[in-house]
Amino acid sequence: MAGAAIAALAVGVWLGRERILTVLGSYLVDASVAEKADIAVVLAGDTYGHRILTAAELVKNGYAPLVLVSGPGGDYDLHECDLAIPFAVKHGYPEAYFAHFEHNGRSTAEEAALIVPELRRRKAHTVLLVTSNFHTRRAGEVFRRAGPDLKFVTIAAPDEFFTPDGWWKNREGRKIFLTEWEKTVAHWIGL
């Protein structure tokens, strides 16, 4: 009897696997619609330029007057903002849209601890937090915890490898999913 129940459960999971995988992928995405804000912030970690271009469009469309570009140091003594801003300029956006914010943070929590005081120094109250779609839920929670006096509106930049309803169909999507879930669980337990 127990064996038949386990077999039935296994068949049910197999038949519903795409729905289950979609629900798990969708949980990671908690994005909002853009609204007027005092500033936009581009989080580090996107080597394809989707985040910076999404933020540039927000300024172009009047949602924020400026983008603070997070820039941890790293490769060849450069900060990520030193690469991201010229990338956006190359794609037709004025350099005046962007402000460098160099730092040495290595995680979303470290980024928040460094960026939130800068947002307060700039007297920002409403912030458009631009990050990759799969990173929106965790990033929003981390920044809201670091700056409970600020309003963070998470804006999803697209990712060609991760979509909530198809991440399992490519190797990069699977890697993103597993890494983000690992970080989400670590966040839940306070690591």
Distant-in-sequence, close-in-space partners of 118: CB < 8 Å, separation ≥ 6: 68, 101
Domains and CATH numbers, the chain: 25-188 (3.40.50.620)
Nearest to 137 by CA among 177, 166, 168, 191: 177
pLDDT, one tens digit per residue, over 112-128 is 999 999 999 999 999 99
**pLDDT score at 15:** 60
Q: Which residues of the chain have pLDDT under 50?
A: none
Residue 45 region by backbone torsions, left for phi larger than 0, else alpha for psi between -120 and 50, else beta? left
Tokens of 127: 């912030």
**pLDDT score at 61:** 98
**pLDDT score at 65:** 98
pTM for the model stands at: 0.91
**pLDDT score at 53:** 98
Nearest to 43 by CA among 138, 125, 124, 172: 138
